[in-house]
Structure 1
Amino acid sequence: MEFTLKATFNTTAKQIYKAWLSTQGHTKMTGGEAFVSDKVGDSFSAWDGYIKGENLILEPYHRIVQSWRSSNFKENEEDSQIEVTLLEKEGTTELTLIHSNVPEDGEHYIQGWQVHYFDPMKSYFEY
């Protein structure tokens, strides 16, 4: 299964990119403890270890591709993948997230992205 989500934030693409790929920034913008790097091939964890993955493709201030799995994934299920693209428009940035190779029972991740990422990020980037 695959889904695409969009959200707009009152900040620059650079600010979102740097926060997403930094331990301190990711932790602050989501509210869950994260360990993140801005180097291709490095692994990351987010939301107190609930999410784990690896940086696959990084195009500074524009695109982030990561392997992604939650602790709900069964052992025999492949990692899913997220692709985050950032497009600046008149002082705001539109974030498009494509989450692919999601297990068939993974529809709850759609709401998870909204509640655990986009909502807290909107608050974080307001300031």
Structure 2
Amino acid sequence: MSQNLEVRNVQQTVELSAPPDAVYAALMDAQQHAAFTGFDAEIDAREGGAFATGSGLNSGYTLVLVPGRRIVQAWRHRDWSEHHYSIATFDLVPMGRGTRLTFTQVGVPADAYEWMDEGWRTTYWSPLARYLAMRRRA
């Protein structure tokens, strides 16, 4: 029996003070990912590879990788319906000496939209910006 799950899309743009390759590495390298989020991460950084981030709260599969430019993942949160995945796309564009990251997540359950939208900002983009800035100074 199919369910009609109401979904929404998250779209965010953030400017980061590091080149696209550094942003890509921070997102796809399990050690760096854990360092900037503060949560355990397991990431098989290949197309078709599985990932679990947020100490197991988030999981899925990487669908497309274009190093330094694009990451596309089938992504789900532990609290969502068992077989529901969204599609998360991270587009990285050089901007001066930094990167413009455009993030789109299609198919977020409507009842999770508010906290997902806020969660990306507080758990990912702000800590990622601090992490990248700190690494630049090191």
The verdict on a shared fold, with TM-score over 0.5 as the criterion, is: yes
Does 2:104 correspond to 1:116? no
Q: Which amino acid in 1 is paired with 2:51?
A: F
* Alignment RMSD: 0.9
**Deviation per residue, 1:38-66 (Å, 9 max, x gap):** 20001000010000010000011000000
- Larger Rg over CA atoms: 2
Q: Using the alignment, how far apart are the partners of 2:110 and 2:95 within structure 1?
A: 34
**More helix by proportion, 1 or 2?**
2
Q: Using the alignment, how far apart are the partners of 1:16 and 1:38 within structure 2?
A: 14
Q: Which amino acid in 2 is paired with 1:65?
A: V
- Match among 89, 92, 106 for residue 86 of structure 1: 92
**Deviation per residue, 1:50-89 (Å, 9 max, x gap):** 00010000011000000111111022x5201100000111
- Residue 41 of structure 1 corresponds to 48
- Residue 6 of structure 1 corresponds to 13
Normalization by structure 1: what TM-score?
Answer: 0.95
**Deviation per residue, 1:83-111 (Å, 9 max, x gap):** 00001111110111000011111221000
Q: Using the alignment, how far apart are the partners of 2:25 and 2:44 within structure 1?
A: 10
TM superposition outliers: structure 1 runs of 4+ over 2 Å? none
- Residue 73 of structure 1 corresponds to 80
Does 2:103 correspond to 1:97? yes
Query: 5+ unaligned residues in a row in structure 2: which ranges?
Result: 1-7
SS of residue in 1 equivalent to 2:14: strand
- Match among 52, 55, 59 for residue 59 of structure 2: 52
SS of residue in 2 equivalent to 1:65: strand
- Residue 5 of structure 2 corresponds to none
* CA shift for structure 1 position 13: 0.3
- Residue 23 of structure 1 corresponds to 30
Q: Which amino acid in 2 is paired with 1:18?
A: A
Aligned-residue identity in percent = 27
Normalization by structure 2: what TM-score?
Answer: 0.88
* CA shift for structure 1 position 37: 2.1
* CA shift for structure 1 position 32: 1.1
